[in-house]
Structure 1
Amino acid sequence: MEFNMKKVGFFTELPYGQLDVSGDEEFGFRPYQLLVSSIAVCSGGILRRILNKQRINFDDLHIKADIERNEEKADRIEKIHLHFTIVSSDIDDKKMQKAIELTTKNCSMVQSVIESIEITKTFEIK
């Protein structure tokens, strides 16, 4: 990836389009938002794949990401909590817990930060 400077922040051209990144939300995505989004969406994509492979039917999957930052250390992200809400009559708590564990093992974004950011996950079935 290559990043080019703009008046405020940077941008890169990707196959899907231009990605604008800036410390100021008026001019692009903030770096921490992209990091948290990468971890949440990677986890969600892996979970979706696992559920599909297990032939578990579901109507919706929602992810809420809560973060804790440390102001004393450059606003470092210390913890990300992912809460998955799945709409399905085809899964129970035990199967979902197993799927969440597999998600952690197989998400490259989680594995990339696992020793520096605490990642926790919970779920609810509707």
Structure 2
Amino acid sequence: MEFKMKKEVGFTTTTEYGELHIAGDEAYGYRPYQLMVASIAVCSGGVLRKILAKKRIEIEDLIISTDVERNEAEANKIEKIHIHYKIKGHNLNENKIHQSILLASKNCPMAQSVKGSIEIGETFELI
């Protein structure tokens, strides 16, 4: 990827999906921490979705919400990310979903890349 400095604030890059604006100020683009949290949450959710499909567990919808703890005293670094899955489907088995989430966590490249640096917690609810 190549990032180009914007005149006002931040940087841009172009991907096959369009132009991405990144800046420390939300008025000019996505903040870097937002992209990191999104990468971890969506990677985990994508792996979970594949695992559920392989187990023939059919879901209708998957909504992911996050809660982030940052440490202002240490350059506002991300210390914890809590990922909460809302899984919609019929006849879903809580134990199988729980096991699938644990497996997804171990197989998500983004979560594994920050292992030991950022604490990642995961919960779920069936809707």
What TM-score does the superposition give when structure 2 sets the normalisation length?
0.96
Aligned counterparts of 1:4 and 1:59: Cα–Cα separation in 2: 40
1:14-25 alignment, distance < 5 Å = 14-25=15-26
Q: Aligned to 1:26, what secondary structure does the other structure show?
A: coil
1:86 is the counterpart of 2:75: no
* Counterpart residue type for residue 4 of structure 2: N
1:6 counterpart residue number: 6
Stretch of structure 1 that moved more, 29-38 or 89-98: 89-98
How far residue 53 of structure 1 moved from its aligned partner, in angstroms, is: 1.0
1:58·1:90 contact (CA, 8 Å) conserved in 2?
A: no
1:67 counterpart residue number: 68
What's the Cα RMSD here?
Answer: 0.8
Aligned counterparts of 1:117 and 1:106: Cα–Cα separation in 2: 16
1:108-123 alignment, distance < 5 Å = 108-123=109-124
Aligned residues: 126
Gaps of 5+ in 2: none
Gaps of 5+ in 1: none
Q: Aligned to 1:55, what secondary structure does the other structure show?
A: coil
1:22·1:30 contact (CA, 8 Å) conserved in 2?
A: yes
2:50 counterpart residue number: 49
Q: Deviations over 1:50-96 (max 9, x none)?
A: 11111111111011100000010011000000010101123211101
Aligned counterparts of 1:50 and 1:90: Cα–Cα separation in 2: 17
Q: After TM superposition, what 4+ stretches of structure 1 lie above 3 angstroms from structure 2?
A: none
